[in-house]
Structure 1
Amino acid sequence: MMEMIQSFLTKVKECNHVRSLLNKEDCLLVHFICGQQNIEVILKNGECTLLHDPSESFIKCEIYGDEETVEQLLSGERKLRFLMQNGRLQVMASFRTLLLLEALFYLTKIDTKSLNII
């Protein structure tokens, strides 16, 4: 899972058109919860990184799902709202945040064949 998250972060850094979406957000914390794994990603000032300073104040979003489903989301294989509607993901976030995340995940499709994950 961490490898998929790292690939997503790298892809966001490579895509200027995606980073421009993040400039409009003050600060968003996306908390991925997959079984025993908890990974927090911060979206701030056009950047997307792993959370290192838990003392900052963030708008929080939580995504619950199994590892395979989260990998489908991060790879762009399935859209966020599709996975939610089918009950495969549970997401705690505002609708505006959902739309932003769906755009980010879709625009940063990861080539999972190069990761040897899926």
Structure 2
Amino acid sequence: MEERIESFMNEIQKKNHIMLLVTNLDLCLSIEAEKQTYYLSFKKKKVEFSKERAFPAAQYAKLSGREDLLIHLLDGHIKLREGISIGYFNLVCPFRTLLVLESIFYLARPMTLKVFI
């Protein structure tokens, strides 16, 4: 799970259009899988990852779900709001934060190149 979160974080940092969303964001997202809680901090044009809650932030959001489904979310196979409506995930945050997180998860999904032979 840690590798997927780090890969997700790297995708965010590589894509300038996503960094525009993060520019003014002051948010700590806790991702609660079955066995572990992980933290992503969005602050001052930076995205940081930790296994401990050490990030002071103006806002906190809590995303929880099964680890395998969270991995599918990080890999871009499930959209955030679809997963919430189906019951895969629970997200506690204001609606505007949900919209920003939904955009970040959607835009940060890895782009795969399909080759047709």
Mark yes or no: TM-score above 0.5. yes
Q: CA deviation at 1:110?
A: 3.0
Percent identical pairs in the alignment equals 28
Contact 1:75 1:111 in 2 (8 A): no
Could you say which residue in structure 2 is the equivalent of 1:105? 105
Which residues in structure 2 correspond to 1:1-118 (within 5 Å)?
Answer: 1-25=1-25, 27-51=26-50, 54=54, 56-110=56-110
CA 57–44 in structure 1, closer or farther in 2 if over 3 Å, else same: closer
Quick check: 56-65 or 29-38, which moved more? 56-65
CA 10–55 in structure 1, closer or farther in 2 if over 3 Å, else same: closer
User: Under a length normalisation based on structure 2, what TM-score does the superposition of the two structures give?
Assistant: 0.87
Q: How many equivalent residue pairs? A: 111
Q: CA deviation at 1:45?
A: 1.5
Structure 2 residue ranges without an equivalent (≥5): 113-117
Instruction: State which structure, 1 or 2, has the greater radius of gyration over its C-alpha atoms.
Output: 2
RMSD: 1.8
